[in-house]
Structure 1
Amino acid sequence: MDFALILFVLVILTGIAWIADKLVFLPRRRRAAEAAIAEFDRQQARIGERFADENAPQTRARLRDEKLRQPWWLEYTASFFPVILVVFLVRSFVVEPFKIPSGSMVPTLLVGDFILVNKFEYGLRLPIVNTKITHGSPLQRGDVVVFRYPKDESVDYIKRVIGLPGDTIAYENKHLTINGKPVAETPLADYFDEERIGYAKQFEEDLPGRKHAILNNPAVPPFVIGAEDYPYRDNCSYNSEGVVCKVPAGHYFMMGDNRDNSADSRYWGFVPDRNIVGRAFFVWMNFSNLKRIGTFN
C-alpha cells in the first residue's frame, strides 16, 4: 500500500481521536478532577485541622493528574496526531526521503544513498490524488527527478531528465543528440564500479550547460533489446544503432547516468507530468560511505 495513503489514514484516525479528546473526553476528565478535589476538600473540612492531610497540596495535585491522565487508547492515538500531521505535511509538500535501490544512476548516485527530494519546486501536488495545485518551475534538462513508474505507479523511479515536451531525442552508438545537436562529451578517468566489480568508461556530459558524469560500457551493443509496448510508442524509431524519439506534449524522456545498466525511457516509454514526484537534490546519508553526504549534479 502507498505510504502516503497510510499516513493520510493515520492522520484522519488520530485527528478524530484528538478532536474527540479536546471536545469531549478532556472536559469530562477536568470535571472529574474538579469533583475529586472538591470531595477531598470536604473530607478535610469534616475531619478538622488536627487530622488534616499535611501534604494536602501534593494530594490535590496527584488527584488532578490521575483524573486528567489520558486512557491508553487516547494516548496512542490523539497524542500522536500532531507528530503524524507534521510528518504528513512535510513529506507531502516540502521534502521526501528516498533510498537508491539500484545502480542505474551511478556514478551520480550509488546504491545505498539516502536522498532528499524537493516536493514544491515543480508545483505543489495534493497527496494521494497527485493533483497539481500550483504551477511551480518547469522541469529542466539535466534535473535528477523521482517519478512514479508509468508501468506500475506504486513504484518510484529516479532518472535524469533528457528530453522535454517537443524534443527529438536520439541515442545512437552510445551518443546523445537533442533536436539535431550532439551533446558534448569529455572523457574522464575510467570508473571502478564496485557493484559490478569492473571498470567502465566515464564521460562528462554537457546537457547543455548542466554537466554531469555518465558511464558507458563499450562491450554492450548500442541497440535497445526488449523495448516494451507503451503509450506514444509510434513516436520512437528503433534501429541497430539505438533509438530516436519525439517527446509528446506533457511528457518527458528519462535516462539513467549508467547508460548501459538502466531501464529507462528507451525501454518503457515517456513519463507523464502527472507522475512527477520531485527533484532530488541532496544525499543525507550513506551508511557505508559518509563522504557521500552532500549535494550532487
Structure 2
Amino acid sequence: MENQPNNNIKSKQELPKKCPFHGIPISRWIRFGLASLILVGFAIWLNNYTVLLLLILFVDIYLTRYIPWGFWRKSKNKTFRKTMEWVDAILYALVAVYLINTFFFQNYKIPSSSLEKSLLVGDYLFVSKLSFGPRVPNTPLSFPLAQHTLPIINTKSYIEKPQWPYHRLKGTGTVQRNDIVVFNFPAGDTVALKIQNPDYYTLCYREGREVVNRNKDIFGEIVFRPVDRRENYVKRCIGMPGDTFQVINNQVYIDGKKLKNPENMQLNYYVMTNGVRLGEQNFRDLDVSVDDRYLINDDANYNQILSYLGFTPNADGSFNPVYRLPLTQKALNKVKGYNFITQIKGEPGEFGGETYPLGYNENWTRSDYGPIWIPKRDATLNLTLENLPIYERVIRNYEGNSLAIKNDKIYINDKETNQYTFKMDYYIMLGDNRDNSADSRSWGFVPEDHIVGKPLFVWLSLDKDRKWFDGWIRFNRLFKSVGRE
C-alpha cells in the first residue's frame, strides 16, 4: 500500500511569512514617525525631495533593524564597547554640528580690527544662517568646524566633488543697508598659500602673474577654492543692489545723497605732542588697542612722512612725537582737549594703497572712490571698454561666463555684445574702521551667493591686551546685540 501524503503537514513553502513589522514596540514607531516628519519638512524647505530616500534608512534604523547598527553593544570586550561608545557619540556630534553650522547657526571670532569700535578683536559672534536664508553647501562632503584646511595635517577639509550649484533656502529676511554681514571673501577664489594678504589678484598686479605662479618657494602653491570654502569676512553692508556708491573725503554717498556714518566709525589721525609720550591711561581713555599704537618717529622714513603730512619740525629739524591712531569722533574730541597735543592731521586716502578694480583709475583712493554702480539681478548694463574693468570679475568669475576683447569689441561666451544682464544681486561692504579695513574699495562687490549669515549677538569677548583681573573678559559686551545702525 502506497504511503499517502499527510495533508495536515504543510510544506515549507506554504508556511505563513512573518510580517517584518510584527511586534515592533510602539516607542520605536513614535521615534520613526518624528524622524520622518522632520525629514519631510527638511526636504520641503530644501526643495529637494531626493533626501526622502533617507526614509529607507530610517525604516531599518528605527523599525526592522536588519543591519546590526548596535552590534558593538553585545561585544564581551569591554574596551571595544567603550571605544565604540566614543566613536558613536563623536559621529552623532559631528553630524549634528554639520547640520547646525550649515543650516542654522555658527560661531565666528572677530580676528581683525576692521569693524572697530562696533565689533572688537576678540568678540565671539553668534551668527544666524536663518536671517538671510541658509545656503545649500557647494561642497557637501566636508569636515565640520574646518573652513578649508584641517589643522595639524594641513590638508583640505572638503572633497571637491560633488559640487552643487548655488541655492539659498528661505530665510527670515534679506540683507538690508547697514546690516553687519558675514560673507565669504570674494577675491579668495584663488589663493597663494604662503602669502594670503594681500590677495592673489593684488599680488599678480604688483608682481606679475607669471612671477607669482612660478615662484612657489616665495608665494607657495596656488589653490582654487569653491565659494563656501573661502575665508569668512565680516563687514557692514553699505551699498545695495542697484545703488550708485561713492566716497568723497571719507563721506559715503548713495545715489548722490550723504549716508549717515556709523556711530562708532573710525578714521586714522596723526597726532603730534609737545614732546611728551602718550601713556597707558591715555590709550585706554581713547580706547586704542596695543596693536594700533604706532609712533611714527620709530619709522626709518619718518622725516619724509611727517614733512609730507605738513607737520612743523623743531628748529633743529627734528620732530616731536607723532602717533598714528584710529579714532572715533568721540575719541578725536578727547584728543583735541589734551593740552599737550599741538597738531592733528587726518590720514590721506592715498595711504590706503590700490583700489578696485586694480589699475582702473589712479585718482580713486580709499577716501575718494567712485562713483560705481552696484549690479542688480535681472538688471541690464550697457558695457563699454571704459566700464568693463569694473564688471569683468563679476561677469567672468562670479557668474561663470567667458569674456574677451577682440578688435575693441566685447565678446561674452563667444558672442559680440555691448550689454550684460546680471544673474545675481551684489553688495558693497565696508569696515567701520575705515582706514584700517580691506573691503569693497579694495576687492570689489560681494555676490549674493557669498553671503553667509547675520551676527545676532556677542556671546563672549576677550581683550588680548588685558590680563585676567584687568579686563581680560569684557563683561559689558557679553550678549551685546549686533544690530543695524
Task: Indicate the residue corresponding to 1:75 in structure 2.
Answer: 85
**RMSD, matched Cα:** 3.6
Q: Among 273, 279, 292, which residue is 1:196 paired with?
A: 292
Task: Indicate the residue corresponding to 1:144 in structure 2.
Answer: 180
Instruction: Tell me, yes or no, if structure 1 residue 173 matches structure 2 residue 249.
Output: yes
* TM-score (norm: length of structure 2): 0.42
Q: 8 Å contact 1:125–1:134 — kept in the other structure? A: no
Unaligned runs of 5+ in 2: 1-56, 140-163, 189-226, 267-284, 294-323, 331-343, 377-424, 463-471
* TM-score (norm: length of structure 1): 0.66
Which stretch of structure 1 is more off in the superposition, 264-273 or 284-293?
Answer: 284-293
- Structure 2 residue matching 1:77: 3-state secondary structure: helix
Q: Among 449, 456, 460, which residue is 1:274 paired with?
A: 449
The C-alpha deviation readout for 1:152-176, integer Å capped at 9, x for no partner, is 1521100000001011111110111
Query: What is the CA-CA distance between 1:124 and the residue it aligns to?
Result: 2.4
- Structure 1 residue matching 2:434: 3-state secondary structure: coil
- Structure 2 residue matching 1:147: 3-state secondary structure: strand
Q: Aligned pair count?
A: 233
CA, structure 1 residues 79+246, in 2 after alignment: closer, same or farther (shift >3 Å)? same
Task: Indicate the residue corresponding to 1:220 in structure 2.
Answer: 347
Unaligned runs of 5+ in 1: 1-14, 34-65, 205-216
Moved over 4 A (4+): 26-30, 66-70, 185-191
CA, structure 1 residues 28+221, in 2 after alignment: closer, same or farther (shift >3 Å)? closer
CA, structure 1 residues 237+277, in 2 after alignment: closer, same or farther (shift >3 Å)? farther
- Structure 2 residue matching 1:282: 3-state secondary structure: strand
The letter for the 2-side match of 1:150 is: P
The letter for the 1-side match of 2:440 is: S
Aligned partners of 2:262, 2:238: CA distance in 1, in Å? 18
Instruction: Tell me, yes or no, if structure 1 residue 159 matches structure 2 residue 235.
Output: yes
Aligned pairs for 1:80-95 (under 5 A) are: 80-95=90-105
Instruction: Tell me, yes or no, if structure 1 residue 291 matches structure 2 residue 476.
Output: yes
Aligned partners of 2:71, 2:348: CA distance in 1, in Å? 74
Task: Indicate the residue corresponding to 1:97 in structure 2.
Answer: 107
CA, structure 1 residues 29+107, in 2 after alignment: closer, same or farther (shift >3 Å)? closer
CA, structure 1 residues 68+134, in 2 after alignment: closer, same or farther (shift >3 Å)? farther
Identity of aligned residues (%): 30
Q: Which structure dedicates a bigger proportion of its chain to strand?
A: 1
- Structure 1 residue matching 2:346: 3-state secondary structure: coil
Q: 8 Å contact 2:72–2:81 — kept in the other structure? A: no
Task: Indicate the residue corresponding to 1:10 in structure 2.
Answer: none
Q: 8 Å contact 1:254–1:264 — kept in the other structure? A: yes
- Structure 2 residue matching 1:193: 3-state secondary structure: coil
- Structure 2 residue matching 1:160: 3-state secondary structure: strand
Query: What is the CA-CA distance between 1:242 and the residue it aligns to?
Result: 1.2
